[in-house]
Amino acid sequence: MSGSVEQPPQPANALRLHRQLAAIWATGPGVQRLAAVNHSVLGLRMMITSFVFFAIGGVLGMLTRVQLATPNSTFMDAGTYNQVFTMHGSMMLFLFAIPMVESVAVYLTPKILGTRDFAFPRLTAYGYWCYLFGATILTVSLLAGVAPDSGWFMYTPLSSNVFTPGINADVWLLGVTFVEISALSLAMEIVVSVLKMRAPGMSLDRMPIFGWYILVTALMMIVAFPPLILGSILLEVERAFGLPFFDPARGGDPLLWQHLFWLFGHPDVYIIFLPMAAVLSTIIPVFAGRPLVGYRAIVVAIVALAFLSFGIWVHHMFTVGIPHLALAFFSAGSAIVAVPTAVQIFAWLATLSHGRPRWDLPMLYVFGFFFVFVAGGLTGVMLAMVPFDWQAHDTYFVVAHMHYVVAGALAFPMLAALYYWLPLLTGRSTVQRLSTVAFWLVFVGFNMTFFLMHLTGLLGMPRRIYTYTGYESWNWLNLLSSVGSFIMTIGFALVVIDLVVQLRYGRRVRRDPWRATTFEWAMPIPPQPYAFASIPHVGAGTDRTEAGRIALSLARGEGYLGAARNGWQETLGVHMVSGKPDQLIVLPQPTYLPLWTALATAVAVLALLFKLYPVAIVATVVIAGLFVLAAQRSGHARDYGPLPVGRGVSVPPHTEVAEAPPWLALICVLVADGTLFASLLFGTFYLWIAAPNWPGGVSPDPSRLLALGAVAALAVGAVASRLSLRALAAAGGAQGWIVLAMLALAGSIAALVGMMGGVTPDPRTHALGATAVALLCFVVVHAGIGLLFLVSNLLRLAGGRVSPRRLVDFRLTRLWLDYTTVTGVLALALVLALPALVSVLGARA
Amino acid sequence: MRAAIQTSGAALLAGCSGPFSTLAPGGAAADSIASLWWIMLAGAVVLFALVMGLFGLVVWRPGWGSRVSPARWIVLGGLVLPGIVLLPLIAYALVAGERLLPLPSFGSAVPRVEAEGRQWSWTFRYPGQGGVTTSNVLHLAAGTPVDIDVTSKDVIHAFWVPTLAGKIDAVPGRTNRLRVQADRPGQYEGQCNEFCGLGHATMRFVVLVHRPEDYAAALARAAAAEGAGKK
Amino acid sequence: MNARGHSVPARRLWWLAAGFTVWCNALVLLYALHAIGCVFAWPAGALRWTLVVVFVAHLVAVGWLWRKAASAERGAAAGDTGNFLQVVIEWTMIAAFAATLVTFGPPLWLTACL
């Protein structure tokens, strides 16, 4: 069986269904647009926003090329140049690349997986606003001339308050962290959605490969961002409050920053690459006219890449003085990362070889990708070789390599994707000639700019210098690179013109112009806010059925959920592995709440930036309140039991099942948070073993009594929360247990704050004290969030939003408090162990 | 314009030379790394041509390679090909890297020089030569391996003389050791290779390599002249 | 048709990560032990042998996982989805085993602390 054409066609109710669903799902006009939570709307906004930052970042890149075109240029002074290149890198990586791939994921994933929206639409909106506001703060700093200027990886001590006393580095630390909140929240949402929200019957082996790529990418984000967020927090604390973590004179170590940064930074390359590979693995089979070859091999390759990419961060640090033996682990690891990449490349080649390739515009960009990415991969293997890196590190060879693998391997598939999916977005086809010219300009310009940089680097030009004198034999190479960059820019400008022309004059296309088999084409184009009028069923042959053929049947409501009910925004949740429907997910309506929460977050960030700490505290309280408020509005006020969802299937609403999206989301949160905690533990041990000037003069003397009290209180809280859950499940009174848990958490916070007050040595004088405070703070913050969970439980209990069947809230609280207790015990154990750790340091060589 | 093209052509042909060129080695370490580069370049050109050739064939000659089963495509191209390239390369690079390490020598001790970076200059101190210091000029004796102990007074810098050896970072609070040897007397150029703020671009230094028999005297003269200059 | 692969529980997905988690663990342990050994000036031989033991232990661990994955239920009973996961998990184990061997084996021959 294929597609969803099973029932006999009903009288043409497609239009009626469209009107009903559109009324339920549509975002309102005018100012109500700010309340949008729909993935199509937000995905598109995010895409456009990211392209705006791409343009700004591109202009900054052009400025650097103007400056470097000739020796002794007086176009910019060193200070300006440092801001420009720092912002070029930061913008391209944090404000363009990551949001762009996320926007593609947000826009396309639900459609490709055959569902109506993501699991947490309000979180999508919050993520978008955080991104927009954070990015705006960074951009405004550039206009104000106080942009970050320590390079996009912000190495300490250059970025510390001693050597960068102004606001510049704070803008980076706070702005980028703000944007990362957005990336993290979207990543969690993507993971939950891909696992739980697919078309019924879409078991993992039938999931379009796009879903696998996006799932793994989102999982990588969840693990990759926390180390950098931790690093940014610690560095900001060092800058703002003087607690040393990176200052070598006070027991910190600048290399700790590098470890935390690259623990994020290296996987980030693959976080950018994998969604582009997803695009290629989706497009190439369409143009080869056959299903993708080596589906299983590619899944294995994606998993391998995800892990390997985390284990090779030190290859950015080959010259910092780590022993050769340790470098060799990372060198070999960096080399074998090429294997899963090669598996994908040859799977694509095999797909083309076994199909009947037809040539169209997206394939031109696929060619561009192959050319650029293979070249970049080869130089990557070269740089993985330790001795060669000792020469090439931080030269223009690295600049060239990085642009081949990040810029080229992003830009060409991105444009391939753009031309492939534009008919979906706009309902019109491209104007061929202009697009082809644009491609060749971008391609020639790109290679001219960056290929020559390999040689420039081998001739010894370091990156990040704002000028050179002219005798170094770099003149012609730089001039040609600059000319190339202008050609590339003209190419990109043509792409923009092409888009405008297409929007205006493009031929209207019917559905599924490429004869693709993925579900995003099984809908009227451009897509409606509800995406599918009814949700398709996936059978054995669906991956070979042209999507356009089932579109009409879906529009008539012949799939699942082909009718409006209660004004609910309904979609289906499925079993993670088999794809069997197991719950009816009712999504929230458009709301301004995400906007207000993001605005409050922006106020908090700005207050930290301008050192208005009382304002920051108030804003944080407001944010917490808004989150609790958001929780109050979720779910249902009564039990429904199984509801029919079409095709003879009945499932309960998501509020009444165990494996509900919020449950999985909390697991994702804990994975991210656990990574942050592990990074903090790593940081503590790292400073212990590696930092100069350890131990400090005063030895630590933590209070065992307070530590014990704090742990006991946390444990009481966790137990009380369990008992509250049990009481609720038995329809008994849970309030008493919740209040007990709250009192216990408050007690643990008091004990921990007491411990912080007594930390020796003074946290401002030595990293030993500073790390102890950081560990204690971690526990306090988690206990505090636990309190919020409990407050929310009380409110929802009072509002009748929980019941013996609707237990999810209480299960979330229990999990959070268990986690808080476990991490609390570990953190306090480490604090108590610090005196012993310090005493063994006497035995050092 | 034509002159410009000719000049650029000549520049590209002369190509590999230049005061900071890693491809015009003047010492054992730089020489070893340059060899590694040329080997890798040759391999990379072959592999690049191979993959792009395959891409061209499968796209423009429909059906080409369809007799090779998909599994074989993936195993041969994705596993075997990288395997036979990468494993020997890793082994070669590990051995090459090992030879560049500042291993303790069994005979005479390797002379040391202490290099300290600061925003934005270099100070070199010569413990074996009475602890004299020079600024922004490093004096070495030809044909003798020397260990440079590199550190920093403020932010992270990197010590790099491309024609002699790879680079090593100057990290505050730590001392990193780099072994350098210049084969012939002459003047070489060094620079800071880690972004260190406003003066990063101009944080250069000169390496003067003397004949071994002239070394002590030349260094003493230079140090004295600098001392006099300061007064 | 709705029953296909239904027997595969969701927790089976964790197995996709198992092999490479051991790889990551090996990396962290080897890197940490090496650093500790160098800082506390362990004798070169003792340090090297410690690392070799850790390396071999992880190799054995991945090998064991591989065997365990290979011996899982297969065939019609597991369904298409079950068989798919089975094959993919087994190959991640093989990949993790090879990665462990190549990443951590050769470096152990090098000079310890320079």
**pLDDT, tens digit, 9 for 90 and up, residues A752-765:** 999 999 898 899 99
Domain count, chain A: 1
The enclosing domain of A783 has a CATH number of: 1.20.120.80
Say which of C107, C109, C111 has its CB closest to residue B101. Answer: C111
Question: Which residue of B lies nearest to A387 if distances are taken between CA atoms?
Answer: B97
**Cis status, amide bond into A526, omega within 30 of 0:** yes
Test A336 with C102 for CB contact under 8 angstroms. Answer: yes
Would you call A12 helix, strand, or coil by DSSP? coil
pLDDT of amino acid A5: 40
Whether A12 has a pLDDT exceeding 70, the answer reads no
Whether C58 has a pLDDT exceeding 60, the answer reads yes
Sheet strand arrangement including B186-192: B137-141, B204-210, B186-192, B157-160, B168-170
* pLDDT band (50, 70, 90) for residue B230: low
pTM of the model: 0.94
Say which of A203, A323, A843 has its CB closest to residue C40. Answer: A843
pLDDT of amino acid A637: 85
Select from B14, B13, B33 the least CA-distant residue to B22: B33
Say which of B87, B94, B177 has its CB closest to residue C110. Answer: B94
Q: What is the pLDDT of residues B117-174, one digit of tens each?
A: 999 999 999 998 888 999 999 999 999 999 999 999 999 999 999 999 999 999 999 9
The whole-angstrom separation of Cα A58 and Cα A446 is: 12
Domain boundaries, chain C: 12-109
**Residue A267 Cα, gap to closest chain C Cα (Å):** 14
Test B94 with C106 for CB contact under 8 angstroms. Answer: yes
Q: What is the pLDDT of residues A141-194, one digit of tens each?
A: 999 999 999 999 999 999 999 999 999 999 999 999 999 989 999 999 999 999
List CB contacts (< 8 A) between B102 and chain C: 114
Whether A134 has a pLDDT exceeding 80, the answer reads yes
Select from A197, A38, A9 the least CA-distant residue to A651: A197
pLDDT of amino acid A747: 96
CB-count exposure of residue A840 (10 Å: 0-12, 13-18, 19+) = exposed
Residue type, B164: L
* Residue A649, H or E segment: strand A649-651
* Residue C106, H or E segment: none
Q: Which chains touch B (3 or more CB pairs under 8 A)?
A: A, C
CB-count exposure of residue C21 (10 Å: 0-12, 13-18, 19+) = middle
Select from B81, B79, B77, B42 the least CA-distant residue to B58: B77
Q: Which long-range contacts (CB under 8 A, 24 or more apart) does A11-14 make?
A: A12/A556, A13/A556, A13/A557, A14/A533, A14/A552, A14/A555, A14/A556, A14/A557
Question: Which residue of B lies nearest to A148 if distances are taken between CA atoms?
Answer: B197
Length of chain B, in residues: 231
* pLDDT band (50, 70, 90) for residue A543: confident
Test A343 with B79 for CB contact under 8 angstroms. Answer: yes
Cβ atoms of A617 and A634 closer than 8 Å: no
Would you call A88 helix, strand, or coil by DSSP? helix
CATH topology of domain B112-230: Immunoglobulin-like (2.60.40)
CB atoms within 10 A of CB C14: 10
List CB contacts (< 8 A) between B13 and chain A: none
Whether A8 has a pLDDT exceeding 60, the answer reads no
pLDDT of amino acid A694: 85
The whole-angstrom separation of Cα A136 and Cα A146 is: 14
Task: Provide the 8-state DSSP code for B75.
Answer: I
Q: Residue B109: phi, psi to the nearest 5?
A: -70, 145
CB atoms within 10 A of CB A625: 14
CB atoms within 10 A of CB B126: 23
What mean pLDDT do residues A398-412 have?
Answer: 93
Q: Which chains touch A (3 or more CB pairs under 8 A)?
A: B, C
Q: Considering chain A, what is the average pLDDT of its residues?
A: 93
Query: Do the domain assignments include residue A187?
Result: no
What mean pLDDT do residues A245-270 have?
Answer: 94
The better pLDDT of the pair A239, A407 is held by A239
Q: What is the pLDDT of residues B48-92, one digit of tens each?
A: 999 999 999 999 998 898 899 999 999 999 999 999 999 999 999
Select from B144, B143, B172, B134 the least CA-distant residue to B156: B172
Task: Provide the 8-state DSSP code for A158.
Answer: T
What mean pLDDT do residues A13-27 have?
Answer: 90
* pLDDT band (50, 70, 90) for residue B3: low
Interface residue A1 vs chain C (CB under 8 A): yes
Q: What is the pLDDT of residues A343-382, one digit of tens each?
A: 999 999 999 999 999 988 899 999 999 999 999 999 999 9
Interface residue C10 vs chain B (CB under 8 A): no
Would you call A154 helix, strand, or coil by DSSP? coil
pLDDT of amino acid B6: 56
Whether C60 has a pLDDT exceeding 60, the answer reads yes
User: Quick one: what percent of chain A has pLDDT higher than 70?
Assistant: 98
What mean pLDDT do residues A783-799 have?
Answer: 94
The whole-angstrom separation of Cα A174 and Cα A812 is: 29
Query: Do the domain assignments include residue A725?
Result: yes
Any bridge partners for residue B122, and if so which?
Answer: B117
* pLDDT band (50, 70, 90) for residue A547: confident
What mean pLDDT do residues B195-207 have?
Answer: 95
pLDDT of amino acid B2: 55
**Cis status, amide bond into A695, omega within 30 of 0:** yes
Select from C37, C29, C91 the least CA-distant residue to C56: C29
Test B102 with C110 for CB contact under 8 angstroms. Answer: no
pLDDT of amino acid A9: 45
Query: Do the domain assignments include residue A769?
Result: yes
Sign of CA dihedral A718, A720, A724, A727: positive
Q: What is the pLDDT of residues A463-499, one digit of tens each?
A: 999 999 999 999 999 999 999 999 999 999 999 998 8
Would you call B139 helix, strand, or coil by DSSP? strand
Test C84 with A325 for CB contact under 8 angstroms. Answer: no
Interface residue C11 vs chain A (CB under 8 A): no
pLDDT of amino acid B229: 72
Query: Do the domain assignments include residue A809?
Result: yes
Query: Do the domain assignments include residue A482?
Result: no
From residue A74, how far is each of A380, A464, A710, A754 by CA, in Å?
34, 16, 61, 57
